[in-house]
Amino acid sequence: MGRGKITIFSGEGRGKSSAAFGRALVRASRGERTVIIQFLKGSGMAESDFLKRLEPEIKLFRFEKCSLDHRDRSEQEKKEEAEKIRNGLQFARKVLAAGQCDLLVLDEVLEVVGNHIISADQLGEICRESRGVDVIMTGRAYDPGICAFADEILEISSTPFKAFDNKG
């Protein structure tokens, strides 16, 4: 079986994760199974009754235990959390290999590459193993090597909206 569709939400604007989660909700509304793995988000989306009600269609995982945003962590905390992040990516591989979902969202995984926790090639290997599962990746910056295996790249901008002048 070939790989699924690979989508990237990137850019400096806000809303990349929200866009990915929106797609996950649409897919779940169709009865499809979605796995979301968050990286480098600090506390991320904390466990709640709401998230539990989304199961089994949407399952959310975080492997990091530090509640601080990645930028605010000490070098020692970053080193400790890097191993947990790699475990999260191994879990993503297992999810793909076992066909446990129809959509896999790797939230902020592009920042994992940008922070040199894994390489663009390693992320590419995960995507090549998607076996018909669609994958969405989010993050501010992306390595050109990552773009090579993406089917769709959507850049989110923080440019302010300017109203159109209705004058002729």
Which secondary-structure segment (H or E) carries 50? helix 49-54
Residue range 40-80, pLDDT digits in tens: 876 556 566 777 777 888 998 988 776 666 667 778 877 88
- CA–CA distance, 120 with 65 (Å, rounded to integer): 24
Residue 43 CA to its chain's centroid (Å): 15
> What's the mean per-residue pLDDT of the chain?
85
Residue 162 lies in a domain: no
What is the pTM (predicted TM-score) of this model? 0.86
Nearest to 138 by CA among 34, 28, 54, 14: 14
Residue 27 lies in a domain: yes
Q: Is the pLDDT of residue 168 over 60?
A: no
The total number of structural domains that make up the chain:
1
> What is the CATH number for 118?
3.40.50.300
Residue 51 lies in a domain: yes
Residue 160 lies in a domain: no
- CA–CA distance, 4 with 74 (Å, rounded to integer): 37
Q: Which residues is 154 bridged to in the sheet?
A: 9
Rounded (5°) CA angle 35-124-144: 115
